[in-house]
Structure formats: structure tokens, C-alpha cells
């Protein structure tokens, strides 16, 4: 678990670093935006803690540049009472932020929360007893792993990650089969059929939307 701490005040960096290391994180430091960008692109951090006001390149700018290349979680530090609007106006997709002065304990708690959130999100999608573990590329029902064919898996994954959204056959074909699929629309139907069957009692959560296509609804 590697974290990059970016702040121009050495004291803050040191304190934060100490607390994080105590909890078993590996910590790198940067004292301005430029350094931060450089380090972030070279290494794979699980999280970047970034101050806003810094010399050379401010936190917004740095996050913007990093995010262009890498999708790494960011926690922003800001002086109390200022900059909130900017933080939300810019849609940087910041994961959290903490206002100075902060308690190191709180910071660490938030860091853990973010990391936990991001770990989970990439990998497991749960709907009651239906679990799709994307990392393991595996689906289980009530704890029992079921064997899906590749297409079935892709289809299910697309369905569950678009819960409550009606998807047209065309949409499904272009997103799962690829834009260059020239076959029959109705091939989707067949796969939905087999997938429903495979999912047993969870099959009912794939609903047909007449004249449109299908949707997953849990």
C-alpha cells in the first residue's frame, strides 16, 4: 500500500507520514505540484494526499494532470473555510477532502476508508447472494461458484454494472461484442436465455423491456 503525500510544509508531511507508516503504509513525499506529478506518473500509488496551496504548481493543477494519465484516488487538504466551491466546481472527481487543521487520526481513518472503497469497487459487485468478483473473474450464487461462459460473464457484468438501466440490444452488442459485430440482434436473446438459466433464482432480475431490450434490476 503506497501513498504519496504532497504538501509544501515539511512538518505536515512528517506527521502524516509517521501516522501512515504506523499503520503499515509505505509513504513517499513531494513538496510541490511538479514533483507530485512526476512521482505519481512513475509510481503506482494507492492514494495521493494532496495539499491545494503549493508553490510551483497547485493541487488542482497537479491532480488534473495526473488524472489525465492515471486513475488514482485523491484526498485533498485545504485550509478551513475556503476553496470548497472550487473543489466541487472543478469536477476533478476527488475522493475526499480534509480541512486543516485536522487530527492525524481522522486523516488516517479517511485514508483507510478511501482505500477500502476503491479496493472493493474494482472487484466485487454484490446483489444479495449473487456475487460477481471481477478480479477472480468469477460469479457465485449463495456462496457457490457457477460456471459461466465468457459471453455470459461479460453480459452479466455489463448488466449488473448498469443496474436499473434499460439496455437496448444494440447497446449490448456494441459494448460487449464490439462495434464491429455484424450479426443478428436476436443473438442477445439467446444469451439472456442461457444467462437467466444459469443464474437460477436470480435470473428473474434480468427483466425484458419490451421493444427495447433488457435491464438488470435488483
Partner DNA sequence: CAAATATGTGAAAAAATCATGAAAATTTAT
Partner DNA sequence: ATAAATTTTCATGATTTTTTCACATATTTG
Q: Which residues contact 126 (CB under 8 A, 6 or more apart)?
A: 132
Distance separating alpha carbons of residues 107 and 121, to the nearest angstrom: 21
Q: Which of 17, 112, 157, 196 binds DNA (CB under 7 A)?
A: 196
Q: Which of 112, 124, 157, 196 binds a copy of itself (CB under 8 A)?
A: 112
What totals of helices (H) and strands (E) does the chain contain, helices first?
Answer: 8, 12
Comparison of 22 and 218: residue with beta carbon closer to DNA: 218
Beta bridge partners of 49: 5, 75
C-alpha closest to that of 187 among 146, 158, 139, 151: 151
Per CB under 7 A, which of residues 160..189 are in contact with DNA? 177, 181-184, 186-187, 189
Distance separating alpha carbons of residues 208 and 214, to the nearest angstrom: 4
Beta bridge partners of 140: 131, 145
Q: Which of 71, 144, 147, 180 binds DNA (CB under 7 A)?
A: 147
- The alpha carbon torsion through 98, 100, 101, 102 (nearest 10 deg) reads 10
Total binding residues for a copy of itself by CB under 8 A?
Answer: 32
DSSP 83-152: SHHHHHHTT----EEEEES--HHHHHHHHHHHHHHHHHHHHEEEETTEEEETTTTEEEETTEEE---HHH
Question: What letter does residue 173 receive in the DSSP assignment?
Answer: I
166-205 mask for a copy of itself (x: CB under 8 A)? x---------------------------------------
Shortest Cβ 137–DNA spacing (Å): 11
Q: Which of 109, 129, 181, 185 binds a copy of itself (CB under 8 A)?
A: 109
Strand-pair category, 206-209 with 213-216: antiparallel
Using CB under 7 A, which of the segments 25-33, 85-93, 116-124, 146-154 binds DNA?
146-154
144 interacts with, out of a copy of itself, DNA, none, CB within 5 to 8 A per kind: none
191 interacts with, out of DNA, a copy of itself, none, CB within 5 to 8 A per kind: DNA
Where on the chain is the footprint of DNA (CB under 7 A)?
147, 149-152, 177, 181-184, 186-187, 189-193, 196, 208-213
Note the residues at the interface with a copy of itself (CB under 8 A): 80-81, 84-85, 87-88, 96, 99, 103, 105-106, 109, 112-113, 116, 120, 133, 135-138, 149-150, 164-166, 209-212, 215, 217
Amino acid at each position: 500500500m503506497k501513498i504519496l503525500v504532497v504538501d509544501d510544509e515539511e512538518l505536515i508531511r512528517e506527521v502524516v507520514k509517521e501516522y501512515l507508516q504506523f499503520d503499515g503504509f509505505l509513504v513517499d513525499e513531494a513538496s510541490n505540484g511538479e514533483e507530485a506529478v512526476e512521482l505519481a506518473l512513475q509510481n503506482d500509488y494507492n492514494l495521493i494526499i494532496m495539499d491545494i496551496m503549493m508553490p510551483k504548481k497547485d493541487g488542482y493543477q497537479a491532480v488534473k494532470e495526473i488524472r489525465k494519465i492515471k486513475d488514482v484516488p485523491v484526498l485533498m487538504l485545504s485550509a478551513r473555510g475556503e476553496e470548497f466551491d472550487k473543489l466541487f466546481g472543478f469536477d476533478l472527481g476527488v475522493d475526499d477532502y480534509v480541512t486543516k487543521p485536522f487530527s492525524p487520526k481522522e486523516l488516517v481513518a479517511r485514508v483507510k476508508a478511501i482505500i477500502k472503497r476503491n479496493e472493493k469497487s474494482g472487484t466485487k459487485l454484490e446483489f444479495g447472494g449473487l456475487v460477481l468478483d471481477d478480479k477472480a473473474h468469477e460469479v457465485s450464487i449463495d456462496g457457490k461458484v457457477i460456471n459461466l461462459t465468457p459471453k455470459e460473464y461479460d453480459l452479466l457484468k455489463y448488466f449488473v454494472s448498469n443496474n436499473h438501466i434499460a439496455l437496448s440490444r444494440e447497446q449490448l452488442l456494441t459494448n460487449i461484442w464490439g462495434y464491429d459485430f455484424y450479426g443478428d440482434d436476436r443473438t442477445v436473446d439467446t444469451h439472456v436465455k442461457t444467462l437467466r438459466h444459469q443464474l437460477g433464482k436470480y435470473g428473474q432480475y434480468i427483466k425484458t423491456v419490451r421493444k427495447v431490450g433488457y435491464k438488470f434490476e435488483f
